Structures are given as structure tokens and as C-alpha cells.
Amino acid sequence: MKKFKKSWQITKNWQLLFPFIGVLFLGYSSFKLVYLFPVNWFDITDSYYLPFLLFIVYYVITYYFFLKLVIYAINKLEKKWIVNQRWELIRIFIVFAITGSSSVFVGRPFINWIGITKDNLYPLFYWTLFILISLVFYQLLLVIFGWLFGQFKFFWHFEKKMLKRFGLGKYFK
């Protein structure tokens, strides 16, 4: 545990909460992804245990792949993003994950509330509008969740850079 704390620059025990949450989110994402694909690719009607074992194997492989991907991304981004301690990168990743999911969950009821459905609008226009509305909510929720997780300064700076790329930076100095 001391080696883990030292490598992630964890100085207080409450900071262990973020790696734990990150591992849980990673496990949940792996489970949802593996659950999307059918396990019965082979003729396994004779056994009850083989589909379960295949599911576990696919889950472990997917979890391992995502874990390696996240650690690779953290190693690359710790040089680019300026944070006080390395564990804060996990907190930033958690904020991005929650914001991405939340913007879709907020955008979908909003687009229905204004009366736009797949039935009354051409699908290309519907999805374009849905993505644009979700992007607006993403911008708002990114700063809100960043503030809730104690990273307001980082996400406000990130938001200003993103708005400059959209050509709206002159409004947010």
C-alpha cells in the first residue's frame, strides 16, 4: 500500500477514494461493454457454466485492456496537464466520465421537452441537433462537476481553451 500511495502521490487516506472510484467505474464500464456482446458464439447448450466462464474471461480481458489504456493516458497527460499530485488525474478522468454520460442523460429529455423526436424530424437533423444540445450541456456540466470534485480551476481553464477553439473565446476571458 505504501508503494501505491507513493507512486500516486497520495498523502492523506481520503485521497484513496478516487483510485477506488476509478477502479469501480472501470469495472462497471467493462461489464456493460462485455454484456453488449453475446456469449453464445459457440454451441454451448450442454453446459450452464461455460457461458458464465466465457463472460468472466471476456470481462477480465476487457478490464485489463481498459486499465492499461487509462494508465497509458494518465502517463501521457501528466506531462501536459499541470496538477499538484498525480492522483488528481484520476479525479479529472472521473469528472470527464461523469460529464460525458450526464450530458446525454440531460440532453435527451431536453430535446424531447422541446418537442423534437426521431419521428417528426429527419434522422440526420435529429442526431445533429441532439449532438449539439448534448455538447452545450457538456460544457455546462463539465464546469459544475469540476467544481463539485474540487477541480474548478483546471476545468475552467480547460473550458476556456475549448471555447476558444469553437471561436467563442472572446466572451470568456
In this model, does residue 48 exceed pLDDT 70?
A: no
| Residues 121 and 136 placed together within one structural domain of the fold | yes
Write down which residue in 45, 80, 115 finishes a domain.
80
| Residues 24 and 37 placed together within one structural domain of the fold | yes
| Residues 71 and 152 placed together within one structural domain of the fold | no
| Residues 35 and 99 placed together within one structural domain of the fold | no
For 13-22, the pLDDT digits (tens) are 888 888 898 8
| Residues 104 and 56 placed together within one structural domain of the fold | no
| Residues 6+ positions from 11 with CB-CB distance below 8 Å | 5, 85
In this model, does residue 43 exceed pLDDT 80?
A: no
| Residues 97 and 151 placed together within one structural domain of the fold | yes
| Residues 101 and 64 placed together within one structural domain of the fold | no
| Residues 103 and 70 placed together within one structural domain of the fold | no
In this model, does residue 158 exceed pLDDT 80?
A: yes
| Residues 13 and 38 placed together within one structural domain of the fold | yes
In this model, does residue 42 exceed pLDDT 60?
A: no
| Residues 153 and 106 placed together within one structural domain of the fold | yes
| Residues 76 and 89 placed together within one structural domain of the fold | no
Write down which residue in 22, 50, 80 finishes a domain.
80
Write down which residue in 45, 63, 80 finishes a domain.
80
Residue with cell 480551476: 153
For 101-132, the pLDDT digits (tens) are 899 889 888 888 888 888 888 888 888 998 98
In this model, does residue 77 exceed pLDDT 70?
A: yes
Rg, Å, the chain Cα set: 20
Q: What pTM was computed for the model?
A: 0.76
| Residues 107 and 158 placed together within one structural domain of the fold | yes
| Residues 6+ positions from 9 with CB-CB distance below 8 Å | 85, 86, 87
Gap between the Cα atoms of 108 and 30, Å rounded: 24
CA angle 32, 33, 38 (to 5 degrees): 100
Residue with cell 496538477: 83
In this model, does residue 40 exceed pLDDT 80?
A: no
In which domain, by residue range, is 15 found?
A: 1-80
In order of 57, 74, 108, 109, the CA distances from 113 in angstroms are 42, 38, 9, 6
Number of folded domains in the chain? Answer: 2
